[in-house]
A and B are shown apart, each in its own frame.
Chain A
């Protein structure tokens, strides 16, 4: 027997769901009884993921770029047309961006990382929250990172974007506090995904040695935490940053 979250009848959107953490979240949601809209800009991978995940429950893929406002608005309208509503939004779409010293960090790369990671999170939350506030219930979970708390050397844009997500999460949480919509964030350290392994290559043994559990996280572990936060039971927690760093984070 394993823990079973009660997301029966809930309609969810998971961004960046073609692979990695987003995919694991979509999978856990489906196993918990939710219908899941999976968003990604990588159409080919998303189609393959959708085919596999549809064995677990109702999946509705949508190819879009979260940094483009009109695409996000279209995606939310499409989800509401398809399922009649949105109860849950999880924003996993994100990129590492270039890893290089700040004096050499290209301006266009800065904009790209901020637009996808931070602005993309805002655009999705803005569009979904309109509907959630209207119905008086919603769960929004954003993906931040321990980089957003500590700052990671040679990743100025990523660190800034993830710190920005923390601020955005807290601000929205307070704004929506009395209206049934909670907004929380998960702050992982390196997770064993394609992107996480790419990040790990840049830091090597140093990264692992800083994690008291002496291992990287698995996407399923992040998905379990997110599933709990998206359940109705997570009702007195909002504006908080749940840590998933194997004991690494200091606050």
Chain B
């Protein structure tokens, strides 16, 4: 196993209680970072905090990434406690309603875009001051192949993830000389509850499009995310890193 050096780094992983976020939090802890995970479900936060705490210093916070004031206060509290923030992984997400566009309600659209795209923006903006002060930072956004290709019956998810890619590129360029890199990962379907809970037809659709003939594992996304958070990833910013089992066409 690669030994990624994140010794002494302070990290925040949103949506860190399960799935990809939890795997990333775990890998960052094993790599020497102090990690804070955010989520909405207190019970799950308590469980994850306890389990992850055995691997290294892990804090939890109940924060809705779609609420800019909560995000700002959460990051200020984190910095007050840990002294700084070096790594932000914007992972919190929902699939949104999987249904034809004509059946999508206003609220489905708004909630999905708020969490996936706007939440990524709130968290990134709030994380910049401590990173700029340190002259070093790593922001890794979890986008999706849906944001490149568009997935039928998932208009909000596809649009929000494409938005995350655009935001990544914009911030990457803006911060080119700052020592902060901003990159994103575009996974194809990864074996998480998010994917397991879809309809059999949608499941089949997702699998059929992955040349490797299997879903990704959360650890595989975490492997890549941890590398992107390391000092070794130093000449790439605004980059879109694919982890799609050879699915993506660009």
Contact = CB atoms under 8 A, between A and B. Distances in A.
Given A177-B211, A231-B2, A236-B245, A214 B221 contact: no
Interface stretch (B37-45, B48-56, B124-132, B233-241): B233-241
Given A1-B5, A3-B2, A213-B237, A236 B177 contact: no
A177 B245 contact: yes
Nearest to B238: A247
A174 B169 CA distance: 27
B176 A212 contact: yes
Given A173-B246, A234-B223, A245 B5 contact: no
A92 to B, nearest CB: 16
Interface residues of A, number: 42
Contacts of A237: 224, 241-244
A25 B242 CA distance: 22
Contacts, number: 127
**Central interface residue in B5, B235, B237, by most chain A CB within 10 Å:** B235
A1 B243 CA distance: 28
Contacts of A249: 238-239
Contacts of A177: 211-213, 245-246
Contacts of A188: 235
B70 interface: no
Given A233-B1, A242-B239, A247-B237, A224 B246 contact: no
Contacts of B213: 177-178
A240 B241 contact: yes
A217 interface: yes
B170 to A, nearest CB: 10
Interface string B115-131: 00000000000000000
B151 interface: no
B220 interface: yes
Contacts of A4: 2-3, 5
A166 to B, nearest CB: 10
Interface in B1-25: 1-5, 7
B5 A3 contact: yes
B235 A240 contact: no
A78 interface: no
Contacts of B235: 188, 213, 217-218, 221-222, 244-246
B172 interface: yes
Nearest to B177: A214
Nearest to A172: B246
Interface in A1-48: 1-6
Nearest to A189: B235
Interface in A132-173: 170, 173
Interface in A193-251: 211-214, 217-218, 221-222, 224-225, 228, 231, 233-240, 242-247, 249-251
B236 A244 contact: yes
A158 to B, nearest CB: 20
A188 B245 CA distance: 22
A236 B3 contact: no
A235 B218 CA distance: 11
B3 A6 contact: yes
Interface of B: 1-5, 7, 169, 172-174, 176-177, 187-188, 211-213, 216-217, 220-221, 223-224, 227, 230-246, 248-250
9 contacts: A5-B2, A170-B249, A188-B235, A212-B176, A214-B177, A236-B243, A239-B248, A243-B236, A250-B169
